[in-house]
Amino acid sequence: MEKRISTFEELYNACDTHEQPIYEISQLHEAEISDMQIPEVRIKVKKSLDAMKEAITAGLHSKELSISGMCGDDCWKLQKRFEQKHALFGKLYEKIVTYALATSEENLRMGKIVACPTAGSCGIVPAVLVAVSESLGVSEKEQIDALITAGEIGRIISNKIQLAGAVGGCQAECGVAAAMSAGALTQMRGGSVRQVLNAVALAIKNLLGLTCDPVCGLVEIPCVKRNPFLAIHAVTASEMAMAGIESKIPIDEVIDAMEQTGKLMSPMLKESSQAGLARTKTALKLEEKLKLL
């Protein structure tokens, strides 16, 4: 068995040598280390894809608030808004932002979601891949291919930095989810391996230093609303990469920079709720209110 790929340079070289896309390289390695056949690997990925779609559907049809009462009806509000007045960017934009909210709010209700790569960032990958697939008529086979690619991107990044807000801030959660989405979307739209990796680099570069400062220590504020914002961020990165725009800093060096940024970031801004939005006057009032529940 070949050594497991640990950098994006190794991934690019493997794709170039074998003349295969990322998902084919990834599913082969996954089959080898899991002692499975490739069809079995793809069945597992399909289960995750199905769970993503179920979470979107459930979230779109609920406005139940979370236990804290702070979040849960934003997707409903947004859907009502689009029923009355369409978004400036059109129907696909509407789908992406509502799907991202639907999924992240379903997480707050303790519904079934796919952590991709984390629960707090669970709305970004599903929103981008499912919304675009529906709008462009992408086959289930291609959706599975894209999700495998997204997973490989997240796996390689995790070799350098732990995908947790407590370690690297939200750049390591929503930031990585945006990068996974950008790369997978680029592949789905026919981009080359080089374009896929440039989309990943562009997405990460513009989110370096994103803090994790959850209000009341809950994955609600600002986490829920970051999901739709960064889903659109992922699409922007893909569009630029598909146009041939390249990151001047190679993707592996971008990940090195993210690791360094995470280490330099104050622990008070890494999921501890000791600074940032979590210590604003309103956040402190919400914290006192929750203590009374």
Q: Which tokens hold the place of 147? A: 């999700």
Which domains, and CATH codes, for the chain? 8-291 (1.10.4100)
Q: Are 232 and 96 in contact (CB under 8 A)?
A: yes
Cα dihedral sign, 129-130-132-137: positive
In DSSP notation, 225-270 reads HHHHHHHHHHHHHHHHHHTT---SS-HHHHHHHHHHHHHHS-GGGB
This prediction's pTM: 0.96
pLDDT tens series, the chain, 293 aa: 467 899 999 999 999 999 999 999 999 999 999 999 999 999 999 999 999 999 999 999 999 999 999 999 999 999 999 999 999 999 999 999 999 999 999 999 999 999 999 999 999 999 999 999 999 999 999 999 999 999 999 999 999 999 999 999 999 999 999 999 999 999 999 999 999 999 999 999 999 999 999 999 999 999 999 999 999 999 999 999 999 999 999 999 999 999 999 999 999 999 999 999 999 999 999 999 998 87
Looking at residue 293, its pLDDT comes to 76
Looking at residue 2, its pLDDT comes to 61
